[in-house]
């Protein structure tokens, strides 16, 4: 069975263990093939090239946007990438070849950025389009680096590996993402070669325009669909678990054996991505199951995500959430019975490109929970000018998820568990589908709420 494997950034940074746990060590009989690998950049590399995903610390792209000294920053990135190369000498990386490759790719990127900066300075072009092009160029560097190194290491360990560079640095062809992938994989003999593809794919539509930092999983899913993979496997540094072991303790958390695409989407909505939701859709439609595996526990089967799975027993399978959200409540005494009130509010949110995670309504109020990073003073000011009363509060969102939780008392048990822990529920949401109970609570109560719900619902099933 041909399988497609995505290796995450943290795992890639420990490629010696990837080599032993996934590629070579698990296949000592020499059956290394019938697998395609799609690789992320090494840990932190994309942060250096763009901006830090969590802290917002400026990388090369952010400096380029602000007309700051991006070239010195690019030199600094090259130094760091060569330092990363040195760490793989002992497992077979040819440093001279690897250093030359990444030096050339950084040099090409520098030339592209200089040209883009000159075009920007002319004032004759759309600034946003030029900046998006710069972002695409820089994002591709990290995956090209890790994929090239991986192939070099595999070849030096006696495995026939092929570098599939989807970055398009050496061509000016106007191909869509799908066309580039189709051309790259056409005619390959998977029984005798392991293709290692860059997680970035160049395309006329711009992979980052639509998916931004989720682009490597989009490449992964598109490749799996293109080749008709029997299974799509994602290797991460952790299991998909019933609750975060760092919060509830390893002894109180267990890997989730099976779940479905709906639950994967619910998790992605609160920032715990098993896979980017837009990347998973093509796999779901094609009927290709996803398996999430822990790179460092290769004997564990991991979590299988299928289209139609529903637990035989009613149970909460996962407690998740986030403490990086804000609740915005719009209150207006003229809202009751007014057709289109909600629509007008959503149009304002759309103008600011903001999608809510939770929405709860009553006769005169609408409460929305959004990511704190999306909150802006301009949005709040417009809302306050438009509506009678607008309230904003930093909060947490904690969720109890399961493929089969539609039974009397499930919501009551969750509410009781929070109340018993002294945690007030400030807003709540559950749809008719009944796969996700969402509770808005005080930000400082997040860890306490996860522990309470895990103890009441996961360790003591419904």
Residue-wise pLDDT for 57-72, tens only, equals 899 999 999 988 999 9
Query: What pLDDT was estimated at residue 122?
Result: 86
Of the listed ranges 203-207, 321-325, 458-462, the least confidently predicted one is 458-462
Rounded mean pLDDT of the chain? 94
Query: What pLDDT was estimated at residue 271?
Result: 85
State the pLDDT confidence band at 30, using cuts at 50, 70 and 90: low
Q: Can you tell me whether residue 389 is helix, strand or coil?
A: strand
Decide if 278 contacts 211 (C-beta within 8 A). Answer: yes
pTM of the model: 0.91
To the nearest whole percent, how much of the chain has pLDDT over 70?
Answer: 98
Decide if 162 contacts 195 (C-beta within 8 A). Answer: yes
Q: Which residue has the tokens 């008709």?
A: 228
Structure tokens at 12: 């890639």
- As a whole number, mean pLDDT of residues 180-198 equals 97
Crossing angle (nearest 10°) for helices 95-122 and 70-86? 160
pLDDT exceeds 80 at position 273: no
Q: What secondary structure letter does DSSP report for 372?
A: G
- As a whole number, mean pLDDT of residues 28-32 equals 65
CA distances from 285 to 219, 269, 279, 411, 457 (A): 16, 20, 11, 31, 32
Fold of 3-237: Carbamate kinase (3.40.1160)
Query: What pLDDT was estimated at residue 177?
Result: 96
State the pLDDT confidence band at 121, using cuts at 50, 70 and 90: confident
Crossing angle (nearest 10°) for helices 215-227 and 177-185? 50
Q: Write out pLDDT tens, residues 333-343.
A: 989 988 989 99
State the pLDDT confidence band at 140, using cuts at 50, 70 and 90: very high
| Of residues 106, 144, 135, 107, the one with CA closest to residue 12 | 144
| Of residues 245, 247, 275, the one with CA closest to residue 263 | 275
Name the residue ranges covered by the structural domains of the chain: 3-237, 318-458
- As a whole number, mean pLDDT of residues 193-216 equals 92
H/E run at residue 210: helix 207-211
| Residues in a beta bridge with 236 | 294
Which architecture does CATH list for 318-458?
2-Layer Sandwich (3.30)
Neighbouring CB atoms inside 10 A of 146's CB total 26
Q: Pairing mode, if any, of strands 35-39 and 194-198?
A: parallel
Q: Write out pLDDT tens, residues 420-446.
A: 999 999 999 999 999 999 999 999 999
State the pLDDT confidence band at 26, using cuts at 50, 70 and 90: low
Structure tokens at 275: 């896979």
Distance between CA atoms of residues 40 and 46, nearest Å: 9
Distance between CA atoms of residues 290 and 306, nearest Å: 7
C-alpha 380: how far from its chain's center? 28
Q: Write out pLDDT tens, residues 333-371.
A: 989 988 989 999 999 999 999 999 999 999 999 999 999
Q: Which residue has the tokens 């066309």?
A: 179
Q: Which residue has the tokens 């289109």?
A: 340
Distance between CA atoms of residues 196 and 144, nearest Å: 10
Query: What pLDDT was estimated at residue 28?
Result: 53
- As a whole number, mean pLDDT of residues 396-404 equals 97
Distance between CA atoms of residues 134 and 286, nearest Å: 33
Query: What pLDDT was estimated at residue 27?
Result: 60
Query: What pLDDT was estimated at residue 243?
Result: 96
State the pLDDT confidence band at 462, using cuts at 50, 70 and 90: low
Query: What pLDDT was estimated at residue 264?
Result: 94
75 Cβ neighbours under 8 A, 6+ residues apart = none
Q: Which residue has the tokens 């959200």?
A: 325
To the nearest whole percent, how much of the chain has pLDDT over 90?
Answer: 85
Decide if 278 contacts 210 (C-beta within 8 A). Answer: yes
Of the listed ranges 20-24, 147-151, 252-256, 275-279, the least confidently predicted one is 275-279
Distance between CA atoms of residues 227 and 219, nearest Å: 12
Query: What pLDDT was estimated at residue 29?
Result: 57
- Greatest C-alpha distance within the chain: 73
Structure tokens at 58: 């400026």
- As a whole number, mean pLDDT of residues 176-191 equals 97
Decide if 383 contacts 330 (C-beta within 8 A). Answer: yes
């Amino acid at each position: 069975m041909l399988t497609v494997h995505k290796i995450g950034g943290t795992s890639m940074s420990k490629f010696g263990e990837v080599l032993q746990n996934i590629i070579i060590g698990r296949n000592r009989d020499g059956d290394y093939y019938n697998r395609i690998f799609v690789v992320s950049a090494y840990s932190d590399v994309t942060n250096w090239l763009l901006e830090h995903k969590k802290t917002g610390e400026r990388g090369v792209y952010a400096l380029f946007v602000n007309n700051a000294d991006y070239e010195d920053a690019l030199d600094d990135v090259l130094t760091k990438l060569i330092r990363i190369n040195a760490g793989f000498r002992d497992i077979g990386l040819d440093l001279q070849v690897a250093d030359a490759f990444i030096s050339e790719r950084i040099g090409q990127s520098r030339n592209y950025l200089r040209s883009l900066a000159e075009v920007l300075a002319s004032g004759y072009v759309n600034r946003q389009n030029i900046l998006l092009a710069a972002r695409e160029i820089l994002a591709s560097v990290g995956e090209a680096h890790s994929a090239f190194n991986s192939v070099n290491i595999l070849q030096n360990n006696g495995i026939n590996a092929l570098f599939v560079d989807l970055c398009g640095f050496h061509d000016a062809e106007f191909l869509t993402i799908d066309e580039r992938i189709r051309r790259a994989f056409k005619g390959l003999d998977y029984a005798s070669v392991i293709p290692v593809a860059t997680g970035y794919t160049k395309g006329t539509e711009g992979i980052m325009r639509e998916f931004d930092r989720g682009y490597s999983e989009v490449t992964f899913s598109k490749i799996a669909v293109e080749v008709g993979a029997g299974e799509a496997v994602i290797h991460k540094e952790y299991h998909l678990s019933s609750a975060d072991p760092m919060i509830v303790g390893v002894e109180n958390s267990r890997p989730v054996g099976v779940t479905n695409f709906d639950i994967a989407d619910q998790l992605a909505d609160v920032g715990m991505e098993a896979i980017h939701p837009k990347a998973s859709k093509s796999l779901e439609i094609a009927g290709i199951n996803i398996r999430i595996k822990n790179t460092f526990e290769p004997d564990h089967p991991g979590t299988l995500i299928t289209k139609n799975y529903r637990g035989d027993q009613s149970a909460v399978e996962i407690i998740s959430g986030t403490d990086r959200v804000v609740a915005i409540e719009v209150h207006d005494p003229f809202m009751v019975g007014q057709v289109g009130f909600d629509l007008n509010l959503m149009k304002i949110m759309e103008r600011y490109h903001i999608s809510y995670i939770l929405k709860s309504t009553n006769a005169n109020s609408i409460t929305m929970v959004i990511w704190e990073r999306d909150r802006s003073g301009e949005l709040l000011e417009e809302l306050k000018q438009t509506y009678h009363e607008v309230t904003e509060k930093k909060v947490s969102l904690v969720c109890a998820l399961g493929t089969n939780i539609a039974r009397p008392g499930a919501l009551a048990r969750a509410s009781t568990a929070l109340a018993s822990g002294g945690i007030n529920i400030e807003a709540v949401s559950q749809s008719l589908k009944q796969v996700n109970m969402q509770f808005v609570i005080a930000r400082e109560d997040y860890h306490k709420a996860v522990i309470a719900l895990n103890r009441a619902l996961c360790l003591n099933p419904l």
